[in-house]
A = this chain, B = another copy of it.
């Protein structure tokens, strides 16, 4: 009998997990620097929480992909499919929480969906959310944070931004009927891939009159600077309150961010995003790689994204206003990019292996002293030969070995070998600690 992994899930051995933890730690530090505090919600939620029509949304893929289970008491349960619905449920159980409530969560989500490259049934999301702020200052903060985060990770990004109220307002102005707006949103999202001809065809195939489709696409033609686009849209939106307000929101976002951020943020009127609960600003971040490089081909999906959802939490609470905005960093695509850019993959967190040669006590005391000083220290548990120990250190890429034989023990020293260069030095524990804590 062979024991396999379940379909669509993964093990993360030390080589993967070390780099994942480093990334999570970096994200945590940045989230906290912007005033977001950690929280955690359970994996298991009641099914009615997950399937609420303002949660997964009726008839959506997400709804179909919920892992369902029951407990001993035959209660209907499910595994959380995102981090936002459980946040809404948390607020509904803690409705007097002081707002704005700014939290982050780094946790798994589960979706029983089709598996393809980079899509798993169990995956991590690193989310920040600001609950209780309807002003565009919240958007500006998240943009600054995102740009700071990718700068820290040494990636150049473009953060695409749009506003769903504007998108749907422009559909209205183009004469597209409300029941056809979702179709139009799905089509327009593909503009970069299939061109305006393709988009118009998809819309007319879906029953939208050709002149309306053409009109709509003409509104979104994305040429010139942000100011040019704003000027053009201001004209189009003239007299329409919804469009004008949405446009004002976008203008405020740009007004609130730093000049450095403005260089990275790109207004993209075709951006739509899948989740139904978004109500205003939406974002998506992409890594900038030179055209035609292998990196460009591999990391083509977005590495982060999110948006404003002003209605959902209030619907879970049942009363009151809880304007909110969330943003999610994708652990897997960022890790892929880190590996592609040559980020060092470690096989162990151990810094040194102590190898005792016909000697025990000094090796033990060395280990104790190094560990006390915060050095990640391995010892030879199985009492193997020197060559087997070196083979072990090689396999796990442990950077240093310390040999302690009778000679070394007498001098109360150890022979430190740099396993990359082969260089050896006879050193005291203090000297070794100094060297290894650099």
Interface residues of A (CB under 8 A from B): 1-14, 16-18, 20-21, 28-29, 32-46, 48-49, 52, 67-69, 71-73, 75, 77, 79, 89-90, 92-94, 98, 100, 102-103, 108, 110, 112-113, 121-122, 130, 132-133, 135, 137-138, 141, 144, 148, 258, 316, 318, 347-350, 364, 368, 371, 374-379, 381-383, 392, 395-396
Contact = CB atoms under 8 A, between A and B. Distances in A.
20 contacts: A1-B48, A2-B92, A2-B318, A4-B49, A5-B89, A6-B42, A6-B46, A7-B75, A11-B40, A11-B90, A12-B41, A14-B39, A17-B39, A20-B40, A33-B377, A37-B350, A43-B108, A67-B69, A135-B381, A138-B381
Contacts of A316: 3
Given A14-B37, A44-B110, 10 more contacts: A9-B42, A11-B42, A14-B39, A17-B38, A17-B39, A35-B350, A43-B122, A135-B382, A137-B382, A141-B379
A378 B32 CA distance: 9
Across the A-B interface, give the 3 residue pairs with the lowest CB-CB distance, nearest first. Answer: A35-B378, A9-B42, A14-B37
Given A11-B90, A138-B381, A258-B368, A392 B33 contact: no
B98 A392 contact: yes
A41 B377 contact: no
A374 B100 CA distance: 22
Given A69-B68, A72-B112, A381-B133, A38 B349 contact: yes
A29 B79 CA distance: 31
Contacts of A392: 98
A348 B33 CA distance: 11
A1 B54 CA distance: 13
Contact of A93 (B5, B377, B396): B5
B395 A98 contact: yes
Contact of A35 (B37, B49, B79, B376): B376
A24 to B, nearest CB: 11
A40 B69 contact: no
Contacts of A77: 6
Contact of A381 (B69, B89, B137, B374): B137
A122 B44 contact: yes
A349 to B, nearest CB: 4
A93 B14 contact: no
A286 to B, nearest CB: 24
B3 A37 contact: no
A220 to B, nearest CB: 30
Contact of A13 (B17, B39, B347): B39
A48 B3 contact: yes
Contacts of A100: 381-382
A73 B8 CA distance: 12
Nearest to A50: B3
A318 B3 CA distance: 10
Nearest to A77: B6
A379 B145 CA distance: 13
